Amino acid sequence: MKHERGVLSIDAVYRNFDLWVSRNLGHFPDLQAVYAYEDGALETFREASRRGIKCIYDLPIGYYRAAQKIYAEEAVLEPEWAPTLTGLSDSKEKLERKDEELSLADTIIIPGSFVKGTLDMAPGVKGLIKVINFGAPAPCVGAGVKDRKKKLRLLYVGLLTQRKGLSYLFKAVDKLGDSVELTVVGARLFLGYCKSLEDALSRHRWIPSLPHEELLKEMRSHDVLIFPSVFEGFGLVILEAMSQGLPVITTANTAGPDIIQDGVDGFIVPIRSSEAIVEKLELLMDRERLDDMSAQAVKKAALCGWQRYNSDIVAAVRDALGGARP
């Protein structure tokens, strides 16, 4: 597969780094554990297992067999969006690497309950699974108080792919017409052409990329984040948006259910349902309700800082080492 080869391929870079690390483990005789990410762990884990070193695996997104099932369904349900589903083009070799990495892991760190559920489809998993949610930036003071315009200002942030449920987002916005305005922040990372995507981008405000601080500022100028992913790992923009005073409409196939109290600081909707998105947006056209949920979103984000994530990672590593200090 072209995307897995070549000097600029992230897959090739990962494989080369993995091989280099595996060849250098012997230089660290007191090494107790190795920590590696999906697609970049196989050779390191093989050598670490041979040496009796613990293997800690970071899996940032749902298991690939579950992903392929959903992608295949999307290609049938929304065929015009199929060119954006790059996960269907991974080679057999790459997929087999993922399975062996998982089977060698003593501890598997994942970002949310949805990812944990997808591991039911993975063969040979023996490691202890730890769910550790990502963190939120510091909440913006006064983020929950905004000058509300007549139109509801909607925001989407993420890759421009059907994995993120984009067709359902655009259908929902089209149904609401002039009562809302949408900003899309995200880049195309797929080869080929998707006419439906290009048509949608031409109808709405589109920003291909923003530095992080500028993204947070952009969030503060909107009312609601819509993140309708059909397959996700966590969805860091959920907490980022909440920290800036945006209630979030997202699906159960993200970390939304781990974070959001449905109807209080955001909404959880079914995947593939533009109708459910429309229903929740109509509720948020009640400006009093929007203001209340905005304030609640900021409060929730304040409980989910990166310090909590750091402490949970340290605790997971310590557990992997049998309680010893890492």
Q: Domain for residue 325, yes or no?
A: no
Q: Are residues 72 and 92 in the same domain?
A: yes
Q: Give the pLDDT score at 3.
A: 65
Is 224 a member of any domain?
yes
pTM for this model (two decimals): 0.92
Query: Cα angle vertex 16, ends 12, 19, to 5°?
Result: 140
pLDDT at 224: 98
- Is 141 contained in some domain? no
For residues 273 and 24, give the distance between their C-alpha atoms in angstroms, rounded to a whole number.
Answer: 50
Please provide the average confidence, as pLDDT, over all residues in the chain. 93
19, part of any domain: yes
Q: Are residues 19 and 119 in the same domain?
A: yes
Are residues 109 and 198 both part of a single domain?
no
Do 295 and 312 lie in a common domain? no
Same domain, 65 and 158: no
- What was the pLDDT predicted at 89? 76
Q: Are residues 200 and 117 in the same domain?
A: no
CATH code assigned at 235? 3.40.50.2000
Domain assignment present for 140: no
The pLDDT value recorded for residue 82 is 94
| In a domain? residue 145 | no
In this prediction, the residues of the chain whose per-residue pLDDT falls under 50 are: 326
In a domain, 143, yes or no: no
Residues 165 and 188 in one domain: yes
Domain count, the chain: 2
**Residue 146 domain-assigned?**
no
Query: Is there a single domain that holds both residue 94 and residue 166?
Result: no
Q: How far is it, in rounded angstroms, from Cα 4 to Cα 39?
A: 11
Residue 182 belongs to domain spanning: 152-304
